[in-house]
Structure 1
Amino acid sequence: MNKIIVAVTLLVILAAVNWAIWDKEGHLAEGEVMYFELAPVDPRSLMQGDYMALNFALSNRIQSTLHQSRAGGDILKARNGYVVVRLDEKRIAHFQRLDNGDPLSENERRLGYRLRNGQVRFATNAFFFQEEEAERYESARYGQFRVNTDGEPLLVSLHNEALKSLSP
């Protein structure tokens, strides 16, 4: 009986992992392309290899708006929310407003964000790369994201000022 329980549990775990992988692959393949302007920092972590800590101009704008709208409120409370961005002709996302449920215009999109420890976060706050490739990413100015229909962004790559990919 114990062997059956272990086998069923293992199959359920494998199915869940494979479904999550399939879901993310679909998100990367079919998500809408958007660029977020970066405000990067380049720390080093000997335990994790080389990486670039990422901060987005959009995150800063959301955080500023939240602070203004919650004067004296508890901004450190963990919560999720949505922001409305406008896509320009290059598909760069620009802050419009915090989502209030109003209908979106043709060039507006709704994006999800997370508020953790007073910081606005999107899909990630770090971009990892192979050792000794830091120079390649020094000119990073934008992150390319794929955004699904639920407004969830996934970071795909880093790009320079001309939106040219910095990936090898």
Structure 2
Amino acid sequence: MRPMMRRALFLATGLAVLVTLGWSVRDFEALMASGDVVLLELAPADPRSLIQGDYMRLAYAVEREAIHLDAPAGTIILGLDERRVGRFRRLGGTGAPGPGEKAFRVSRNVSDARAMVEPHSFLFQEGQADLYAKARYGIFRVDASGRHLLVGLADADARKIEPR
């Protein structure tokens, strides 16, 4: 292959990667701006990692329920209370969400086929471990299809934990 062709191929590949990354970032920014707020109750988990820095390992109460998926991924329907805390109501294939409900995408745990919520970690600024140790809820932005993004953690009163 000639050097000029090789350079053009390299530039085209680089441009394709940048466009893909830009599109992904734009997509997540749109979800953060317009997604509905849903809180999921946290189950106790490890608060720190010395290798990765300060972060909280997350486990969600909904993962402890007997929600079994047949496919590698699926949707569950959450019932929302007055604070927007979501609790499992039913599997997503049983009808569209009604009033006070929200679709939420989950994946299947390979070991036991139970529903699993991602992500399982939340990074935070060094020295804030004591503040985040009070976390009782994960705050998600969720779109109409159930795609979600973890945007913060909340305390027992469902108030977002803000670093000092």
Say yes or no: TM over 0.5.
yes
Q: Does 1:164 align with 2:159?
A: yes
Cα deviation for residue 131 of structure 1 reads 2.2
- Any idea what the Cα deviations from partners look like across 1:70-121, whole Å, max 9, x if unmatched? xxxxx8x871111111111111111111223323321112111011333633
What letter is aligned with 1:117? V
Q: Does 1:92 align with 2:92?
A: no
Who is 2:95 aligned against?
102
Who is 1:19 aligned against?
23
User: How far, CA to CA, are the matches of 1:37 and 1:87 in structure 2?
Assistant: 12
Stretch deviating more after TM superposition (16-25 or 116-125): 116-125
Is the Cα–Cα contact under 8 Å of residues 123 and 152 in structure 1 kept in the other structure? no
User: How far, CA to CA, are the matches of 2:92 and 2:78 in structure 1?
Assistant: 9
Tell me the SS of whatever aligns to 1:44: coil
Cα deviation for residue 149 of structure 1 reads 2.0
Instruction: Choose which of 48, 58, 61 in structure 1 pairs with 2:62.
Output: 58
Is the Cα–Cα contact under 8 Å of residues 122 and 153 in structure 1 kept in the other structure? no
Cα deviation for residue 55 of structure 1 reads 0.7
Runs of 4+ in 1 over 4 A off after TM superposition: none
Could you tell me the percent identity over the aligned residues? Answer: 35
Tell me the SS of whatever aligns to 1:163: coil
Unpaired runs of 5+ residues, structure 2, are none
User: How far, CA to CA, are the matches of 1:43 and 1:148 in structure 2?
Assistant: 29
What letter is aligned with 2:56? M
Number of residue equivalences = 157
Cα deviation for residue 147 of structure 1 reads 0.4
Cα deviation for residue 43 of structure 1 reads 4.3
Is the Cα–Cα contact under 8 Å of residues 141 and 159 in structure 1 kept in the other structure? yes
65 and 14 in structure 1: CA distance in 2 versus 1, 3 angstrom threshold:
closer
Tell me the SS of whatever aligns to 1:100: helix
Using the size of structure 1 for normalisation, the TM-score is 0.85
RMSD: 1.8
What letter is aligned with 2:106? Y
Who is 1:7 aligned against?
11
Who is 1:151 aligned against?
146
